């Protein structure tokens, strides 16, 4: 199965061939900093093959020293992008970077012990389809 994605500015476009065998919502402190939000939403593929269709030279990688935390992003707009696997790690694809439909549901939340203090019963917060009516 081929999945496709891009960054917000459109400079980087990619395809992934393969199956996603993991989908995790990670609430660790690294992912909170990295995303600026409550958690990361990362798909993993052991056999996935990543192909940059455009903008490959704008893809920047950051690996937090002495950890397994990696992040790839567009150097123009900062959008999260897939991290090419190294040392036998699976391919990591941020769910929000995909333009094609995400074919699976998250399996679980990770690192809830370090979740943000405001990340609590969020389904009870009022919701709107877009901005609320004035």
Q: How far is the CB of 75 from Zn ion (least distance, A)?
A: 8
Q: CA angle, corner 58, sides to 88 and 100, nearest 5?
A: 70
Among 11, 45, 72, 97, binds Zn ion (CB under 5 A): 11
- Residue nearer to Zn ion on the CB measure, 74 or 91: 74
- 3-state DSSP assignment of residue 4: strand
Q: Residue 109: enclosing H or E segment and its boundaries?
A: strand 108-110
| Residue 6 sits in the site that holds Zn ion (CB under 5 A) | no
Considering only residues 50 through 109, tell me which ones interact with Zn ion, judged by CB under 5 A: 74, 76-77
Interface with Zn ion, residue 25, by CB under 5 A? no
Beta-strand relationship, 108-110 and 22-26: parallel
Nearest Cα to 103, choosing from 8, 26, 23? Answer: 23
9 binds Zn ion (CB under 5 A): yes
Q: Using CB under 5 A as the criterion, which residues of the chain lie in contact with Zn ion when the complex forms?
A: 7, 9, 11, 26, 28, 31, 74, 76-77
């Amino acid at each position: 199965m081929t999945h496709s994605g891009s960054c917000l500015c459109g400079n980087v476009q990619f395809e992934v061939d393969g199956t996603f065998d993991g989908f995790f919502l990670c609430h660790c402190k690294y992912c909170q900093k990295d995303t600026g939000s409550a958690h990361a939403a990362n798909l993993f593929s052991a056999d996935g093959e990543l192909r940059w269709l455009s903008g490959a030279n704008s893809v920047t990688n950051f690996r937090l020293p002495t950890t397994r935390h990696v992040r790839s992003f567009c150097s123009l707009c900062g959008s999260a992008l897939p991290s090419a696997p190294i040392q036998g790690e699976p391919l990591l694809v941020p769910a929000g970077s995909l333009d094609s439909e995400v074919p699976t549901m998250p399996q679980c939340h990770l690192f809830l012990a370090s979740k943000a203090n405001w990340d609590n019963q969020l389904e009870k917060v009022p919701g709107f389809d877009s901005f609320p009516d004035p």
